[in-house]
Amino acid sequence: MSARPAAGTGEGPGAAAARLTGRPVTGRRPLSATLTEVTLDGGQTVMVKRGDGPGAAPAEAAGLRWLADAGTVRVPVVHGHDRDWLVTDQVPVGRPSVRAAARFGRDLAALHSVGAPAFGAPPPDGPTDAYIGLAPMRNVPGSEWPRWYAEHRVLPYLRRAVDDGTVRRGEAEVIERACERLPELAGPAEPPARLHGDLWNGNVLWGADGQAWLIDPAAHGGHRETDLAMLHLFGCPHLDQVLDGYQDVAPLAEGWPDRIGLHQLFPLLVHTVLFGRGYAGQALTVARAALAR
Cα-based distances in Å from 239 to 139, 234, 236: 29, 11, 5
- Give the whole-angstrom CA distance, residue 145 versus residue 153: 11
Q: What is the SS3 assignment for 26?
A: strand
| Final residue belonging to a domain, choices 89, 120, 149 | 89
**Residue 250, domain member (yes or no):** yes
pLDDT of residue 10: 72
pLDDT of residue 52: 82
The secondary element (H helix, E strand) that includes residue 36 is: strand 35-40
pLDDT of residue 8: 39
Name the domain count of the chain: 2
Do 132 and 159 fall into the same domain? yes
**Residue 19, domain member (yes or no):** yes
Q: Spot the catalytic one: 52, 198, 216, 227.
A: 198
Sign of CA dihedral 164, 168, 172, 175: negative
**Residue 239, domain member (yes or no):** yes
| Final residue belonging to a domain, choices 89, 109, 143 | 89
The secondary element (H helix, E strand) that includes residue 138 is: strand 135-138
pLDDT of residue 15: 97
How many residues are given for the chain? 293
Do 200 and 257 fall into the same domain? yes
Do 85 and 105 fall into the same domain? no
The secondary element (H helix, E strand) that includes residue 129 is: strand 129-132
82 is catalytic: no
**Residue 4, domain member (yes or no):** no
Do 65 and 209 fall into the same domain? no
Q: What percent of the chain has pLDDT over 90?
A: 94
pLDDT band at 84 (very low <50, low <70, confident <90, very high): very high
CATH code of 17's domain: 3.30.200.20
Range of the domain at 35: 13-89
133-157 pLDDT per residue, tens: 999 999 999 999 999 999 999 999 9
Q: How many CA within 13 A on the CB side of residue 143?
A: 0
pLDDT at 131 > cutoff 60: yes
Give 71-93 as a DSSP string: TSSB-PPEEEE-SSEEEEE---B
Mean of pLDDT values over 191-205: 97
Which long-range contacts link 29-33 to residues 24+ away (Cβ below 8 Å)?
30/1, 30/2, 30/3, 32/3, 33/3, 33/4
- Give the whole-angstrom CA distance, residue 29 versus residue 31: 6
Do 66 and 105 fall into the same domain? no
Residue 64 makes CB contacts below 8 A (sequence gap 6+) with: 75, 76, 78, 88, 217, 219
DSSP lists the bridge partners of residue 204 as 214
| Average per-residue pLDDT for the chain | 95
Contact of 107 with 72, CB cutoff 8 Å: yes
Q: What is the DSSP letter of 152?
A: I
Q: What angle do CA 11, 12, 16 make, to 5 degrees?
A: 80
Helices 155-164 and 169-180, packing angle to 10 deg: 170
Do 113 and 84 fall into the same domain? no
Q: Is the pTM of this model over 0.85?
A: yes
Mean of pLDDT values over 99-124: 98
Mean of pLDDT values over 116-130: 96
Helices 169-180 and 260-275, packing angle to 10 deg: 150
Mean of pLDDT values over 201-213: 97
Do 81 and 202 fall into the same domain? no
Helices 224-234 and 260-275, packing angle to 10 deg: 60
Looking only at the bridges linking them, the beta strands covering 85-89 and 45-50 are antiparallel
Give 231-268 as a DSSP string: HHHH--TTHHHHHHHHHHHSPPPTTGGGGHHHHHHHHH
Do 36 and 108 fall into the same domain? no
**Residue 6, domain member (yes or no):** no
pLDDT of residue 26: 97
